[in-house]
Structure 1
Amino acid sequence: MSKKMIVLLVLSFFAVSLALAGCGGQPAAPAKAKVLKVGSDTAYAPFEFQDEKSKQYVGFDMDLIQAIGKQMGAEVQVQSMNFDGLIPALEAGNIDMAVSAMTITPDRAKKVNFSKPYYKSGLTIVVKSDNNTIHSFKDLEGKRIAVQIGTTGADEAKKVKDAKIREFNTMPEAFLELKNGGVDAAINDKPVNDYFIKEAGGKDAKQVGEPLTAEDYGIAISQKNTQLVEDVNKALDTLKKNGEYEKIYVKWFGVKPPKE
């Protein structure tokens, strides 16, 4: 066999190898997992907050959204932002969804879509432990009230006659103002108030009166992405059926979720 023939055979071999690779002869590179950009106000324990040691975002919402992402075969990337910036970020397309103990309200539903409710909450009043003058919503008239900007707590506080409202970017700031005596009370979601009193408030604060409202939390999603709403609801249903949702709930609240 001539050298020329050998060269032609070698070239032909490589050409066939390349053709096979292009037609599936070689395994294709694994597809990258879909990334879901999730906005959250990460200063709202026990739903979302930053662990002091690991610096990771942890909490009920964080565990839940990671479990939902896993069900959907997606990677969840959490972006920390102020609560009042979450809906604008969704509208601008900067994030895919927001999970941040967000109450489903008619006004918000005009701007974003919500998943099925995943947590039932309500607003309560927190005062300093030595306060013996505030016992109910009525007693807040003319008082100084701390709230977080953009929340249903802020909306309720604004209904109080002659009240002096102080709005803060985060609830830890509002709680600190209460602890320092800068306000007479704070209005916020009950589970967050419970956590504050247990973990930080201790002897310094207490809750008074009955819950002011009954509220459902939902995952907020852009109105342009109806398919994502369906996918999230499907994943949430699966987590409730397979027991994973209950495990996460018990981990953070110490009790089983109420029956639906």
Structure 2
Amino acid sequence: MAFSSVQAQETLKTALDGTFAPHAMPTLDGKVEGFNVDLVNLIGERLGKTVEITAAQFSGLIPALQAKTYDFLAAPVTVNGERAANLLFTEGFMDTNFGFVVAADAPEYASLDDFKGKTIAVNKGSAYDSFLREKEAEYGWTVESYGTNTDAVAAVLAGRADANLAGATVAAWAVKQNRQLKLSYEYPTGLVWALTFRKDDVEGRNLVDRAIECLKIDGSLAALSEKWFGVAPVAGTTIVTPAKGYGVPGFEGYVEDDHAPSCELK
């Protein structure tokens, strides 16, 4: 489906994993809510369109996109070289950093070195688990893996672990739900989350990219960060800083362009 036809549509179809809190999670009435749900609905508002959101398993999202079931994906997808070779991405809407969670009365940790000798709880088999184990010998920390990140956070609350490591937004959500916890050191990965399109939909990607720029400059994304993560974005971070051109610089599919970010999208 070329975007020349999508642009004329009243409704855009998108999908995400509805179990990835706080980006998307089920509501009591069977719908989904969360940061990415609000994000794509705001994009629809800026473009003057209704967005139809489907919650599905993450593993099936990309095949369904390629089959043209959806116009784009609302799920937060980390942009990397392998994915960029097969998909088209908007500019990043958020940095995909790692975040440590500690007890509210814990000391301040300002680097990975500060966690030397500590016990860190993590979701078994996750990217954060792999990260900790790869650096276990270097930093001398003890890694305790749990079946869910909720269980790993509970280990911190119970005093069985000094910290929990997860994605920065998941970490912020855990802290937002429990005042016995606080956010600690955030490890920068240098990667971003973006919205996903098919390779042949350059025009669609570019239009939604511009809508994301609008949400950055009009303060909407900062407001969503406060709402869902309880965090005010720092100046210069991806969530409040439009990127030059279309897509993610340094990856296949990026188009250098000198357009000025604005909310004049129609």
**More divergent stretch after superposition (218-227 vs 122-131):** 122-131
Mapped partners of 1:247, 1:131: distance in 2: 28
Contact 1:249-1:257 within 8 A present in 2 as well:
no
Tell me the residue number matched to 1:76.
51
2:235 pairs with 1:258 = yes
State the shift of 1:179 in Å. Answer: 1.4
2:21 pairs with 1:34 = no
2:213 pairs with 1:237 = yes
- Aligned pair partner of 1:223 in 194, 199, 205: 199
- Aligned pair partner of 1:187 in 162, 165, 183: 165
Tell me the residue number matched to 1:124.
99
Q: 1:164 to 1:153 in 2, by over 3 A?
A: closer
Identity %: 18
How many residues are treated as equivalent by the alignment? 220
Q: 1:155 to 1:36 in 2, by over 3 A?
A: farther
Q: 1:145 to 1:96 in 2, by over 3 A?
A: farther
SS at match of 1:255: coil
Mapped partners of 2:78, 2:227: distance in 1: 22
When Rg is computed on C-alpha atoms for both structures, the one with the higher figure is 1
Residue type matched to 1:33 in 2? E
Residue type matched to 1:125 in 2? F
Q: 1:141 to 1:44 in 2, by over 3 A?
A: farther
Residue type matched to 2:71 in 1? D
Mapped partners of 2:184, 2:58: distance in 1: 25
Residue type matched to 2:75 in 1? S
Query: Which consecutive residues of structure 1, in runs of 5 or more, have no partner in the other structure?
Result: 1-30
1:106-145 paired onto structure 2 within 5 Å: 106-126=81-101, 137=112, 145=121
Q: 1:176 to 1:238 in 2, by over 3 A?
A: same
Contact 1:103-1:152 within 8 A present in 2 as well:
no
Mapped partners of 2:218, 2:105: distance in 1: 46
Q: Give per-residue Cα distances to partners, 1:27-58, cap 9 Å, x unaligned.
A: xxxx972332222343321x322344x54422
- Aligned pair partner of 2:32 in 57, 65, 81: 57
Query: Which consecutive residues of structure 2, in runs of 5 or more, have no partner in the other structure?
Result: 1-7, 242-266
Contact 1:34-1:73 within 8 A present in 2 as well:
no
- Aligned pair partner of 1:174 in 142, 145, 149: 149
Contact 2:12-2:49 within 8 A present in 1 as well:
yes
**More divergent stretch after superposition (230-239 vs 207-216):** 207-216
**More divergent stretch after superposition (157-166 vs 90-99):** 157-166
Q: 1:41 to 1:187 in 2, by over 3 A?
A: farther
Residue type matched to 2:14 in 1? K
RMSD of aligned Cα (Å): 4.0
Contact 1:65-1:76 within 8 A present in 2 as well:
yes
TM-score by length of 2: 0.62
Residue type matched to 1:233 in 2? D
State the shift of 1:193 in Å. Answer: 0.5
Residue type matched to 1:109 in 2? A
SS at match of 2:53: strand
Q: 1:86 to 1:209 in 2, by over 3 A?
A: same
TM-score by length of 1: 0.63
Residue type matched to 1:147 in 2? N
Contact 1:86-1:98 within 8 A present in 2 as well:
yes
State the shift of 1:242 in Å. Answer: 4.5
SS at match of 1:43: coil
Residue type matched to 1:218 in 2? A
